Chains A and B, each alone.
Chain A
Amino acid sequence: MDPTADTDVADEELVRRYQATGSRPHLDALLERHIGRVRSLAYGMVLNHSDADDLTQEVFLRVTKSLAQFKGDSKFSTWLYRVTVNTSTRFLERRGKLAAEIDRRAPEPLERETQGPECRMLSGETAQAVADALATLTPALRAAMVLVVLDGVSVDEAAEVESCTASTIYWRIHEGRKILRQRLAGYLTP
């Protein structure tokens, strides 16, 4: 049976089965379920498509290595996001990008997913301005914004991911919005 087809099986059950049997299809199912969000989160953090792909791979390799030790103290997705945020932050530190500008190479053209009616495509200039503004946020503020505002993770789960209190997440979101509003004042629709 292809475990990826069984969407009713909880992540934690797939983890348990993988721990018990070492069977790859269970691991692949987890990968295919979460690759989109992990990559999206990584991209929100590092703002470069190629780096986001590499980080997504690094995250899943780390997770595969550590899966035997996963005890289910938190949700699998929470743990996965924590690994993603930590891996991305370490990457930023390695590259010395914390306080400096994000090294944004020429934006790679990426095939776009068909958008829902609620989202409109931004012009290249606006998209660049948003990325530039996000790049000015510290990794902690950026992670809070990406997790809660963009990925729709609850404040409580984001607090668990970031190992801080919900108040701190609220505060980071507020600060992030404040900075972005200043930087993007010219791009906000009246």
Chain B
Amino acid sequence: MNEHDEKKIDRLLCDWSAGERADLQHLHRLAERIKSAIDAQVAPDSQYGPLVAPTPTVNAGWRTPLVCFSLGVAATVLVTGLGIAWFVAREKPIALPEPAETTTFAQIDTGQIHNRATLFRELNEFYAGNLAWMAEVDGRVVLRVDSAKIGSPSSPIQTNDARERSVTVRVVVIARAAGDQRWQTLWKADVISENDQFVQIGPSDGAKRDLSLWAHLLPDGSVAVDTSISLEAGNQESYSGVQRPSVPERILTRKSGNIEYRVFQTVAVLPEKVG
């Protein structure tokens, strides 16, 4: 969706809202009605006194014993708390993260980000600025060159700089059979695209799975991502969310028959402008 579309939507909503707004007479009548309801709700005596109770004063003669008592209670609570914490620490087995939560395999390091930025920029120059996206999947490199790139990258909530940025997304599917502790990497895709570009990869590109994704750089540096992937034939799973750059996230977990799937995704913003 481009900026022009967004403006049109906002304009339509503004016109609609203006037409639906209650007029001053209506609001005045409503205010009177609410005041009557408040009158019925508020107890008569509370109308003539402070609503917030004054700070209670403590007789000086009581103050010292009160402080001592409070300190005693606090000390008891502290000792009990430490005891419980020690007990819990002793009794509770230390939970080791499952191998699948070790997300290093989905990480994109700084060197890779830099290389991808260079590769995308140079290929884009080669294709006269018409490279919409590129992907490496199932051992193949897929390029999409489009003179009328789908999805114009513009939005009133993004800066001009954001419009010229590119993003890279890594999607990794892992799976294990029931009763098996070991996870295996089943499928991996690396995509580089312009910000706000719709990417679609499927068997016609030589990929074993259908994958579509769209990444949208937000003004605070995070990235909104829509991902749709087929874990099994005819079964498309979707994810929509906001991700922090370079932080792998588990975006989907599915169980089908005796196979358990997990999908991890990492998104990173490429540092240099794509010319």
Measured CB to CB, the residues of A under 8 A from B are 18-24, 27-28, 31-32, 35-36, 39-40, 43-44, 49, 52-53, 56-57, 60-61, 64-65, 67-68, 110-113, 115-116, 118-122, 126-127, 130-131, 145, 149-150, 155, 165-168, 170-171, 173-175, 177-178, 180-181, 184, 187-189
CB-based nearest A residue for B18? A119
Please, what's the 1-or-0 string for B4-33, where 1 marks a CB less than 8 Å from any CB in chain A? 011011111111111111111111001101
Q: How far is the CB of A45 from chain B (nearest CB, A)?
A: 12
Given A57-B33, A130-B13, A149-B10: A174 and B157 interface contact (C-beta under 8 Å): yes
A28 touches B51 (CB 8 A): no
Residues of B within 8 A of A167 (CB): 218, 220, 222, 224, 242
B157 touches A20 (CB 8 A): no
Given A121-B19, A131-B16: A56 and B34 interface contact (C-beta under 8 Å): yes
Sorting the interface of chain B by its residue count into under 10, 10 to 19, 20 to 34 or 35 or more gives 35 or more
Majority-rule SS of B interface residues: helix
Given A149-B13, A184-B12: A68 and B22 interface contact (C-beta under 8 Å): no
In the complex, what distance in Å separates the CA atom of A23 from the CA atom of B12? 43
In the complex, what distance in Å separates the CA atom of A173 from the CA atom of B22? 25
Residues of B within 8 A of A20 (CB): 50-52
CB-based nearest B residue for A40? B21
A53 touches B30 (CB 8 A): yes
A122 touches B34 (CB 8 A): no
Given A40-B21, A111-B26: A65 and B51 interface contact (C-beta under 8 Å): no
Residues of B within 8 A of A166 (CB): 220
Given A18-B51, A19-B50, A24-B47: A57 and B30 interface contact (C-beta under 8 Å): yes
Q: How far is the CB of A21 from chain B (nearest CB, A)?
A: 6
Contact among A60, A65, A113, A178 with B21 in the assembled complex (CB-CB below 8 Å) = A113
Name the interface residues of B26-44: CB closer than 8 Å to any CB of A.
Answer: 26-27, 30-31, 33-35, 37-38, 41-42
24 chain-A/chain-B pairs, Cβ below 8 angstroms: A22-B50, A23-B47, A57-B34, A61-B38, A64-B42, A110-B26, A113-B18, A119-B19, A121-B19, A122-B16, A126-B12, A127-B16, A155-B157, A170-B218, A170-B224, A174-B1, A175-B240, A177-B5, A180-B9, A184-B9, A188-B5, A188-B8, A188-B9, A189-B11
Whether, in the assembled complex, B48 has its beta carbon less than 8 Å from a beta carbon of chain A, the answer is: yes
Residues of B within 8 A of A115 (CB): 18-19
Residues of B within 8 A of A43 (CB): 20, 22
Known pairs A175-B240, A177-B1. 10 more at Cβ < 8 A? A22-B50, A31-B35, A52-B22, A56-B30, A61-B34, A113-B18, A113-B21, A113-B22, A113-B24, A119-B18
Given A60-B34, A110-B20: A173 and B157 interface contact (C-beta under 8 Å): yes
B24 touches A35 (CB 8 A): no
In the complex, what distance in Å separates the CA atom of A77 from the CA atom of B192? 43
